[in-house]
Structure 1
Amino acid sequence: MRDLCDGRGRTVRYLRLSVTDRCNLRCMYCRSNVREHSIPHQEILRYEEMARMVGVAASLGIEKVRLTGGELFVRRGCDTFLSMLRARYPEIDLRITTNGTLLEPHISLLRRVNVHVVNLSLDSFDRGTFAAVTGRDMLPDVLRALEALLSARLRVKINVVAMRGVNDGQMDDFVHAALTMPLDLRFIEFMPMSSGTLWNTENFWPAGEIKKEAERRVRLLPEADSPASAGPARMYRIVGGKGRMGFITPVTEPFCLACNRLRMTSDGALRTCLFADREYRLRGLLRHPEITDARIAQIIRRVCANKPVGADILYARPLNGAVAAKQMSGIGG
């Protein structure tokens, strides 16, 4: 097995697989103000096809698979799919990203199938702000799920999309969470995603300013993760705290030259870059009875050779313009 490398020498080890584009929330940075059009059911990959894709990815040296949405637990049978993946690929580093609103009944299953990390999207600990960001008053459901995750001793990362004028006045809450709970709390810069994006220079809160705001309250010490678990976040240990704080900088300091990921949409399109609209349709190949796994792997190698540098696309856009026409719910969070 040869490593899966692109034309710039970046080795791909990570697949983000969207289980569905449907979601029970309507977050302002994900679905924005665009009218919702869900993918027709017949065009969504079957779980068996998704499992096959994971097998092809594993044959190419991909070690980490993250299931995303939309919200994955909106799709019926997701528990069975998780069990299927673990049974077939016991060595895969299996992770999920969820909004937490439907999570609590599934936590025992996550332990059984050894989900390594749960990323929980949680942009505010204030009920009113949460409802304003997500369109639904469901913060209590998410907080119950968070408590249950920690009680089950699952590794938790909270993802906070940082937005000036929305949650920039709530640093005390974020610091308190990272101080008192054994988790990673990561601020993600608001990205100008999709043609209907609400992003602009006024609501963009850069990571450098976020970090300074946190450091007015606590002392942060840089902490490097192991190469196997390192991601795009710059992580800091909080002196005297149980958790850590991190900062993800796709806009101010893009990390594209170290990108190690591919994305698969729920309708079977492979994306080599979050910011690039170019998609490679694999659904037909996965459904064709005469197309072998080896043939699909060959195509993925060829596609990967043209993986772009997302920062080039980002910096080429007009001021206050967007990258990628598709919304995040359609790409996979």
Structure 2
Amino acid sequence: MVLTDKLGRSISYLRLSVTDRCNLRCVYCVTKDFKFIPHPDILRYEEMLRLIGLATSMNISKLRLTGGEPFARRGFMDFIGEIMSRHEDIDLRITTNGTTIKNVVPDLKKIGVRRLNISLDTLNRQTFKEVTGKDHLNDVLATIESCLSAGIKIKINAVAMKGTNDKELGVFLDFARKNPVDLRFIEFMPMGDDTQSDRQFWSADDILLQAKEFANLIPAERTPDNRGPARMYTIENGKGRLGLISPVSSHFCGTCNRLRITSDGQLRTCLFSDRTYNLRNILRNPKLGDDQLLRVIAAATRDKPLGYHLLESRSGNEGVCTTQMSSIGG
């Protein structure tokens, strides 16, 4: 089975959140009325493995594990190992804040993890504490260094926020010039009901214009490893690259190839839509099997919307959806 929607988009990428728990409290992720998902509602690892197996049977070849902070969940390393042992060919990637994993980097390498995405919005220690609520910048930098030394490729994801990290662009580019990382700025997307001001929005075009003041940027050619939504640029005389992801100012809905499953088993076909499909109830019903799961996933995919149409219907400081990012999983 190949998952295809009514617009002809084929799905090959699944983002699976393993937990909504996190040791940080980033301002754009956790709102003031934040509530954790009750533990009984969180999918068990066995249920997630079942979904991953179904995903591979539907021609999904890329799996991203997210949170919350995935490494905050007990047993996560064993879970990664089980995925790799069952699905050796899957393109597994993990998104982490990198604050607690320096010492497990050798184990990740041994398991077969080749890439990590590390969320890092600032290289300033005080700003890091203001954004995340914790003073862990040096821990993240140590993790990045450890990964690079072990041969694990790193993508750094920075949420672009005017008034927060826009004055650090030169510092970021200098970091990418010295280190073989993909530094990707992602346009700020207000999520949930408690959204932040439009004044924080820093567009990808403005970032590119300003970045050219600090570096000579050369558009990177599309490669099998560079087919995602980021516009990538090599940095002249640099080891790393700059990437720009513009879900708000210049959408990429026409080529979207992903599905999301939240840690409580809700299937989301579009980040900007609050419509979900409850897979947990099917997983936990002994009278229902994989056929029912496959039918629901296929039917949901057929109705996958164009997210920018949903954005156009929203106004002012209204969030791109009413669910906060920590509950969705990025």
Q: Which residue of 2 aligns with 1:22?
A: 21
The one-character-per-residue Cα deviations of 1:87-125 (angstroms, maximum 9, x if unpaired) are 111111100000011121221222122223200000001
Residue number among 311, 314, 318 corresponding to 1:314 in the alignment:
311
Contact 2:99–2:139 under 8 Å retained in 1: yes
Distance in 1 separating the partners of 2:114 and 2:255: 22
Kindly report which structure 2 residues correspond to 1:1-333, keeping only aligned pairs within 5 A, or say none: 2-32=1-31, 34-198=32-196, 200-227=197-224, 229-333=226-330
Amino acid at match of 2:40: Q
Change (3 A) 1:301 1:228: farther
240-249 or 115-124, larger mean C-alpha shift: 115-124
Amino acid at match of 1:203: Q
Q: 1:35, CA displacement in angstroms?
A: 2.4
Contact 1:18–1:69 under 8 Å retained in 2: yes
Amino acid at match of 1:222: P
State TM-score, norm by structure 1: 0.97
Change (3 A) 1:155 1:225: farther
Distance in 2 separating the partners of 1:50 and 1:228: 26
Contact 2:95–2:119 under 8 Å retained in 1: yes
Task: Report the secondary structure of 1:159's partner residue.
Answer: strand
Q: 1:288, CA displacement in angstroms?
A: 2.1
Q: 1:291, CA displacement in angstroms?
A: 2.2
Contact 2:122–2:158 under 8 Å retained in 1: yes
Amino acid at match of 2:229: P
Distance in 1 separating the partners of 2:47 and 2:226: 27
Amino acid at match of 1:23: C
Distance in 2 separating the partners of 1:195 and 1:59: 37
The one-character-per-residue Cα deviations of 1:162-203 (angstroms, maximum 9, x if unpaired) are 1011001111210111100001000000012111111x2211
Distance in 2 separating the partners of 1:109 and 1:8: 42
Task: Report the secondary structure of 2:116's partner residue.
Answer: strand
Task: Report the secondary structure of 2:218's partner residue.
Answer: strand
Identity of aligned residues (%): 50
258-267 or 313-322, larger mean C-alpha shift: 313-322
Change (3 A) 1:258 1:232: same
What is the Cα-based RMSD across aligned positions, in Å? Answer: 1.1
The one-character-per-residue Cα deviations of 1:60-113 (angstroms, maximum 9, x if unpaired) are 000000000000011100001001111111111100000011121221222122
Amino acid at match of 2:42: I
Amino acid at match of 1:270: L
Distance in 2 separating the partners of 1:310 and 1:224: 26
Contact 1:86–1:113 under 8 Å retained in 2: yes
Q: 1:295, CA displacement in angstroms?
A: 2.5
224-233 or 89-98, larger mean C-alpha shift: 224-233
Distance in 1 separating the partners of 2:6 and 2:232: 29
Q: 1:298, CA displacement in angstroms?
A: 1.9
Q: Which runs of 5+ in 1 are unaligned?
A: none
Amino acid at match of 1:331: I
Task: Report the secondary structure of 2:260's partner residue.
Answer: strand
Amino acid at match of 1:313: L
Amino acid at match of 2:70: L
Contact 1:94–1:114 under 8 Å retained in 2: no
Task: Report the secondary structure of 1:240's partner residue.
Answer: coil
Q: Which runs of 5+ in 2 are unaligned?
A: none
Task: Report the secondary structure of 2:199's partner residue.
Answer: coil
State the aligned residue count: 330
Change (3 A) 1:229 1:87: farther
